[in-house]
Amino acid sequence: MHPTEILSQEHRAIEVRLNDLEVRIRALEPAAIFPRAFFDEALDFFRHFADGCHHAKEENLLFPLLKERGVPEQGGPIGVMLAEHDEGRAYLKAVRDNLDAAERGSATAREAVCASAEAYIDLLRRHIYKEDHILFRMAQMVLQPDDVAELQKQFAAVEVPERFQEFAAIRTQTV
């Protein structure tokens, strides 16, 4: 499987969790008990799988190789993708920073959690669309067969925590 297809398959898993998060936020009644455990679990997935495994493959392995093959970073798609990864991290931090107060009943903190999570969902959906439709197509044109083989090997070696194995099961399919 081409490395960009592996990443696109991970995008599908990330989108499922983005949809879950969106549904949960929309169903939140102001008077209901704050679902702390749900947010903790969602944050764990987005911080340690979407960011820790998936974005790490892009930032540490795919993007540097694309730069070597002539795709510009500054003023180009790689720079935009890196900036969006950072933006996403800032939204996740804002969610995390407000969880304790939201759990204690602060309406302001609950709103901050929801607003940051919604901004994250919107950002990541648009980000994924750009990667799937622009950057990855570019990658398929510039990567050489040796690059593809090397990336497949490197992707397979990326450590995925046990609890996320199901989302990255496709990483072992290198054909």
Minimum distance, C-beta of residue 50 to Fe ion, in the bound complex (Å): 8
How far apart, in whole angstroms, are the C-alpha atoms of residue 167 and residue 169?
6
Stretch that binds Fe ion, among 19-27, 28-36, 53-61, 66-74 (CB under 5 A): 53-61
Asked whether position 155 contacts Fe ion by CB under 5 A, the answer is: no
Residue 57's nearest CA partner among 15, 133, 115, 5 is 5
Q: How far apart are CA 138 and CA 44, in angstroms?
A: 31
Give whichever of 9 and 106 is closer to Fe ion, judged by the CB atom: 9
User: Considering beta carbons, is residue 25 or 135 the nearer one to Fe ion?
Assistant: 135
58 contributes a contact to Fe ion by CB under 5 A: yes
66, 88, 131, 152: which one binds Fe ion (CB under 5 A): 131
Is the Cα torsion angle 101, 40, 63, 65 positive or negative in sign?
positive
Distance of CA 149 to the CA centre of its chain: 24
Asked if 85 contacts 158 with a C-beta cutoff of 8 angstroms, the reply is no
Binding mask 60-89 for Fe ion (x = CB under 5 A): ---------------------x--------
120 binds Fe ion, rule: CB under 5 A:
no
Residues that bind Fe ion (CB under 5 A): 58, 81, 131
